[in-house]
Structure 1
C-alpha cells in the first residue's frame, strides 16, 4: 500500500457522527466547486458552507486536492446508485437504457454542479476523471452483455456500444438537464431510446 493510500485510509470515519461530518463536507465541496470552480474554491469556503471547524476538514481530508478527488468519486457513486434503484423496473435491456438515461437526466437537474466538477477533473485529477467514465462504461457494457445473453439485444454488443450510449447520455444531460430543464425528461429519454432500439435491438 502506498503512503498516500494509507493516509486516506486513516481518515476513514469510524463513527456515524464522523460519517455525517464527512458527508456534510462533501456536500459543501460540491456547492463550493460547482459555484467557483476548483481553483477559486477554498477549504475555508467548504468548511463555512458545511458549518464545521477547519480542524474537522483535516480530520477527513488531507488537502483541497484530496477532497476534490473524493468528491468526483462520490458523485460518480451517487449517479450509479440513483440509476441502479430504477433499473429493476425495466422490461428488458432496451428499456433499461431508457430508464438509465431518464434517471441520469433527473439527477443532472438536481445536481447541475456535476458537469463543472467532472469537467474540471480532467485537468485537476485526470485519473479521477478517467475512472468516472471508465467505471460508468464498464457497468453499462456489463448490462448490455447480460441483455444480449437473454436474447434482448444483438449478439455483437460490446464496449463500443456502451461508450456510444454513455456519450449520448452525457450530452443529453448537459442540454436537457443543465442548460435547459424545461423539456419533459420522459420525452427526451424516449426519443434517445428509439435510437438505441433501432441500433442494437435483435432484429426479427
Structure 2
C-alpha cells in the first residue's frame, strides 16, 4: 500500500484521484473503469497515480472506505447529547438521504464491492451498524425504545434507509431509473418530505416502548 501524502498539495491530489474514481467507477463499473480514465478525470498523469495507490483495486477499496467515513459523518454530524433516540434517528436519516443525493455513486460502488472486494463490503456495513447497535442498546436501557434486539433493529433500520433512498432519491419521484446515458440516475433528488415522514412514522411505531416496557433494572432511576 502506498504511503499517505505528507503535504497539503499531496492531500489535494489524493482527494482529486478519489473524487475522480467515484465518478469513473459509478459511470463505467469496476470492470470497465481504468487508471487512465481516473487520472484523466483527475487531471493528473498516470505516474502520479502510483504515488498514492498501487492498483485499481486499491483505489476502489479506499473509495469504499472514504464513502463510508463521509456517510457516517453525515449521519451523526447533527446529533446532540440532549436528543432522544427517535430524534437521533430523524437527524441520522436526513443526513444519509442528503449524502445519497449528493453522492449517488455510493449505491453502485457499494454493490460492486460485493464481487470486487467482499471484505470492503462487510466493513462498510459493519462500521455503520456498530454505532447503531450501541445507541439502540443504550436507548432500550433508558426506556426510550421498546424491548428490542439492538442488532436486529440496527440491520433492519439500515435496510429501510437503503431501500427508501434507492427508490425515491436515486430513482427520483417517478420511480424510474435514470436514462441509459446517465448511470448516476437522472432522477437523483432530495427525498420528498411526505415520504420521509411516512418512513419515520413507521420507524417510530416499530421502536416505541409498549405499555409495561420500561428501563432495564438499575437504569433510568
Cα pair 1:98 1:190 within 8 Å, conserved? no
Give the CA deviation at 1:200. 1.7
The runs of 5 or more residues in structure 1 that have no matched partner are 1-7
- Residues 1:118 and 2:110 aligned together: yes
CA RMSD after TM alignment: 1.7
- For residue 21 of structure 2, the aligned residue among 23, 29, 36 is 29
Larger Rg: 2
Distance 1:40 1:184, change over 3 A: closer
Give the CA deviation at 1:83. 1.2
Q: Which residue of 2 aligns with 1:5?
A: none
Cα pair 2:165 2:191 within 8 Å, conserved? no
Distance 1:90 1:175, change over 3 A: farther
Give the SS at the match of 2:128.
helix
- Deviation per CA, 1:117-148, whole angstroms, max 9, x where unpaired? 11000000000011111111112111212222
- Deviation per CA, 1:19-38, whole angstroms, max 9, x where unpaired? 11111100000000011111
Q: Which residue of 2 aligns with 1:196?
A: 203
- Residues 1:81 and 2:81 aligned together: no
Distance 1:124 1:182, change over 3 A: closer
Q: For 2:199 and 2:95, how far apart are their aligned partners in 1?
A: 13
The runs of 5 or more residues in structure 2 that have no matched partner are 173-187, 212-221
Distance 1:32 1:82, change over 3 A: same
Give the CA deviation at 1:158. 1.4
Q: TM-score, normalised by structure 2?
A: 0.83
Cα pair 1:102 1:185 within 8 Å, conserved? no
Q: Which residue of 2 aligns with 1:148?
A: 140
Structure 1 or 2: larger helix share? 1
The aligned length equals: 196
Q: Which residue of 2 aligns with 1:43?
A: 35
**Bigger CA drift: 70-79 or 139-148?**
139-148
Give the CA deviation at 1:109. 1.0
